[in-house]
Chains A and B, each alone.
Chain A
Amino acid sequence: MSVAPKMPKCWRPETKAHKFCPGCGHGLVLKALGEAIDELGIQERTVFGCDIGCSLLAWDFFNIDTVQTHHGRTTPVITGIKRANEDVIGIAYMGDGGGYAIGSQHLVNAATRNEKITVILVNNTNYGMTGGQMAPTTLPNQKTETSPYGRDVEATGNPTQGPEMVAAITPDTAYVARGTVANVRQLKKFMKRALENQISGNGFSFVEVLSGCPTNWRTNAAETWKFIEETMPQYFKIGEIKVPGEKKEG
Chain B
Amino acid sequence: MSSPWKPVTYENGKGIFHLFTNLCKGCGLCVEKCPVNTIGWSKKLGVYGTPAVEPGHGEKDCIACGICELVCPDCAIKIEKVKDKKEA
Contact = CB atoms under 8 A, between A and B. Distances in A.
Interface string B4-24: 111101000000001010110
B75 A5 contact: yes
From A6, A11, A25, residue with most partner B Cβ within 10 Å: A6
A231 to B, nearest CB: 15
B82 to A, nearest CB: 14
Given A17-B23, A22-B27, A31-B73, 10 more contacts: A4-B3, A5-B3, A5-B23, A5-B75, A5-B78, A6-B69, A25-B73, A27-B72, A28-B73, A221-B29
Q: Which 4 residue pairs of A and B lie closest in terms of their CB atoms, listed nearest first?
A: A27-B73, A23-B27, A221-B28, A22-B25
29 contacts: A3-B3, A3-B18, A3-B78, A5-B5, A5-B7, A5-B18, A5-B20, A5-B76, A11-B75, A16-B23, A17-B25, A21-B25, A22-B25, A22-B26, A23-B25, A23-B28, A24-B73, A26-B73, A27-B72, A27-B73, A27-B74, A28-B71, A28-B73, A31-B73, A220-B28, A221-B28, A222-B32, A225-B29, A225-B32
Contact of B75 (A7, A22, A23, A224): A7
Contacts of A184: 70-71
Interface in A1-56: 2-7, 11, 13-14, 16-18, 20-28, 31
Given A2-B3, A3-B3, A6-B69, A17 B27 contact: no
A5 B2 CA distance: 12
Nearest to A226: B32
From B20, B23, B29, B31, residue with most partner A Cβ within 10 Å: B29
Contacts, number: 74
B81 interface: no
A23 B71 contact: no
Majority secondary structure of chain B interface residues (helix, strand, loop or mixed): loop
Q: How large is the interface on A (under 10, 10 to 19, 20 to 34, 35 or more residues)?
A: 20 to 34
Contacts of A98: none
Contacts of B26: 22
A13 B4 contact: yes
Contacts of B72: 27
A97 interface: no
A4 B4 CA distance: 8
